[in-house]
Amino acid sequence: MLLASPLTAAAVLVLLAVIHLVRCLRSPLARLPGPSISKYTSLWLKWHEINATRTVYIHALHRRYGPVVRVAPNEVAFTSWAAIKEIYCSGGSGYDKTDFYDMFTIYGRRYRLISHYAPTLHRIFGSVLYLFAKPRETPLADTYVLETSQIHDAATFTLMSRLEEKSAELEPIDMAAECLDHMAAGIDTTGDGLCFLLWELSQPRSLKVQEKLARELLANPQAPLDQLPYLDAVVCECLRCYPPIPMSLPRYVPEGGRMVDGHWLPEKTVASCQAFSVHRINDDMFPEPDTFQPERWLQLDGDADRRRLLFAFANGGRGCVGKQ
């Protein structure tokens, strides 16, 4: 009996490994280009995630294998407009967000197990758990939003007031969650984008860009921003070269599977595009993709295609509202 147990365990492990290998090899994704290891395991991808090199790793795969890459047994990365349109812009077709987005949840009872299943326990220990469960990089925004949520007669122009009018069932803490989501999203990404822009303009190689931009601004001090074409070109090129959100935006393929950029993906496959690669792999639209060239956005030929491929704000109905 002492030998039977380890032998049985080993046999079960071997059987499970064989079943896993067969499933991986028979999967439609096995025929897609990508490193051999990605057919069988996602551990190498997880390693890059842990080391914060996932974006660079996937981009390297795109440069080697092209616009369609299998990065894990159940995950495929794309860079083409056809894929972007299908995954993010096919309105109502069911490409749901993956668990990746749960990390951005701030409050909300539906994501807080203790408050949902044990409200009494949460009321007693909530303030203590808060100290450990919610480290943030924007403490000023936290303080402002939470203090504002306690003011029951908020000014009519505030988001808090609009949320109060929208639903009497929405509690102050849920309203605070909505406000904080908007503030956090706007603060970090806008700040990062401006930092990248100022850094690029400060480089000696961008002196001519800086001078040309200054001339346009000084010559049109009262002009609306959307009437300053070179400023628009500089901002677009900054977002192309240095997108504040450069990483993958994963979605689940809906029930029944879908055809994405000419490749059949089974349901629950993770499909994604990342701005860092979309802005560089499509070198027919962005020649010399690693150089900062605002003038490319002033060319009429191919302008619509270039702007479609500007993925800094994502795309579709759930793209960033800051694009407007």
The Cα–Cα gap between 58 and 277 comes to 8
The Cα–Cα gap between 289 and 284 comes to 9
Residues making up the chain, counted from first to last: 324
Neighbouring C-beta atoms of residue 178, cutoff 10 Å: 20
The Cα–Cα gap between 320 and 312 comes to 9
Interaxial angle between packed helices 54-65 and 43-50, expressed in degrees from 0 to 180 and rounded to the nearest 10: 130
- On the 0-12 / 13-18 / 19+ scale of CB atoms within 10 A, 209 is buried
- On the 0-12 / 13-18 / 19+ scale of CB atoms within 10 A, 288 is exposed
The Cα–Cα gap between 156 and 162 comes to 7
Q: Is 320 annotated as a binding residue?
A: yes
How far are the Cα atoms of 109, 169, 259, 262 from residue 82, in angstroms, in the given order?
37, 41, 10, 9
Neighbouring C-beta atoms of residue 17, cutoff 10 Å: 11
Give binding residues as ranges: 320
Give binding residues for heme as ranges: 320
